[in-house]
Amino acid sequence: MEQIYFETERLIVRQWSFYDIPALFDIMSNDFVHTYAEDSAWDMEKTENYIRYMIDRDFKTLELFHGAVVLKGSNKIIGRTGLNPYKEKQPEIEWKLGVGYWGKGYATELGRAIIGKAFAATDISCIYGMAHPDNIASRKVLEKIGMECIGLHKFRNNEDMFYVIKKVN
């Protein structure tokens, strides 16, 4: 049984399994998911490598993790989310949801849960969010989950709009 990282009202975020490969491929092989990313549509090999890497990492806490986003009730995988390494104890939040699941408030629900639960259960000091300046949906979610916009900064090969939320002790 895969480890459950956390639950929200409508979603479960859990460890990846090799059985998830077709569902993740279905989501990540769609070009629209990558519109504002340097990435492009995934093939089956890239999907398998991603899942193998995430299983090998075997995340035990929310300090850094990546998991499958599962819709409660249907048990369907609708995307992936997690906290990526950015700076020491200051990770970056990420979501990628299947196109058919956009606009239903799922990213906002995930973001609020990650912030609340990761701050409560780990010693990370803040969480960053980076969005392509034209990625309005992503920027809106970062604002809705209480992050402060701190302007454009270089991130990987791009100038991204940066957001941050600090842990209040």
162 binds ligand COA (CB under 6 A): no
What x/- string results for residues 25 through 64 when contact with ligand COA is judged by CB under 6 A?
A: --------x--x----------------------------
Which residue in 2, 21, 102, 155 binds ligand COA (CB under 6 A)?
102
Rank residues 73 and 123 by Cβ distance to ligand COA and give the closer one. Answer: 73
Rank residues 60 and 150 by Cβ distance to ligand COA and give the closer one. Answer: 150
101-106: which pairs have CB atoms within 8 A and are 24 or more residues apart?
Answer: 101/71, 102/137, 103/137, 106/10, 106/11, 106/69, 106/78, 106/79
What x/- string results for residues 106 through 145 when contact with ligand COA is judged by CB under 6 A?
A: xxx----------------------x---xxxx-xx----
- Residue of 163, 88, 82, 164 whose CA lies nearest to 123: 88
Listing DSSP states for 86-142 in one string gives EETTEEEEEEEE-GGGTTSSHHHHHHHHHHHHHHHHS---EEEEEE-TT-HHHHHHH
Residues that bind ligand COA in the complex, under the rule CB under 6 A:
33, 36, 94-97, 102-108, 131, 135-138, 140-141
